[in-house]
Chain A
Amino acid sequence: MDDKLLAAPADVDLFAPRRRIDADPENVERGLAALVLTIVELLRQLMERQALRRVEAGGLDDATVERLGSTLMALEQRMDELKETFGLDDDDLNLDLGPLGRLL
């Protein structure tokens, strides 16, 4: 039950989320960045969901397909870069955004 990996290539450990290498001591900075990432990610997901829905439905002309795909690709790449900067560890998952939450 714990091991949820059904299929993966042999070098699967290369695809485990990477740990953060820079420990940013400023919680506020991390919080702000997390907030920005959240909003950007939301917009990206909304756009991509829209695009994928239309792709699934079919009937898109070549130009549209190309435009959608390039945009999604660029956004995914940018998000991966941003996510890598923050990495994945328990501190991040436990981030306290109290005051920043109120700002919005």
Chain B
Amino acid sequence: MIWVYGIREPAEVEPPLESLTAGGLMAVFGRREHERTRDGLWEHERVVETLITVLPMRFASMVAGEDALRRLISERHDSLAAALANVSGRVEVGVRAVGRRETSGREHLLRKLALHEPLAALAVDTRLRPQGGAYLVERDAVPGFTAAVERLQEAHPDVAILCTGPWPPYSFV
């Protein structure tokens, strides 16, 4: 079994990482499994982040061998290449709000939008999901984005706005 970390433009990889390339797309993988624990997840994440601009795989993406992996990236070449182009030079930032329970459903949704729209304006792409918002931003736009989050926090003192990142673009594959 091989453990796949991500897909990126061809480049050198450091052992123990290995890679294979098909159609201009390079898959980076290893031979050891990561435990499904806190530490294991962070270990996997650290590897993914060394790949800089990369389409990150879901945790525990394993294939039988290199032939299977090569087939996979060949079959999905066009969509993978398009996704990779989309995230090039960009990172994902996560924002979620915790703390306050609104009094009405309408307030709940209005709050969600009020916290989302100013940030969406600074992002190239967004995903607004139950567990929080994901924002695709240019790498050098992260400080400005963080500042915008801090301004939002000041405007909404009754909730705690938690902003994490930069992440590889897990939500934009």
Contact = CB atoms under 8 A, between A and B. Distances in A.
Interface of A: 1-2, 4-9, 11-12, 14-15, 44-45, 48-49, 52, 55-56, 62, 65-73, 76-77, 90, 93-94
Contact of B112 (A12, A55, A67, A77): A55
Interface of B: 35-39, 41-42, 46, 49, 93, 98-99, 101-102, 104-110, 112-113, 128-130, 142, 145-146, 149-150, 153, 160-167
Contact of B164 (A6, A9, A52, A68): A6
A72 to B, nearest CB: 6
A69 B167 contact: no
15 contacts: A2-B42, A4-B164, A4-B167, A5-B162, A6-B142, A8-B162, A52-B128, A52-B129, A55-B113, A69-B106, A69-B109, A71-B105, A72-B130, A93-B36, A93-B37
Given A70-B105, A93-B37, 8 more contacts: A2-B42, A4-B164, A9-B153, A12-B162, A15-B99, A71-B105, A76-B130, A93-B36
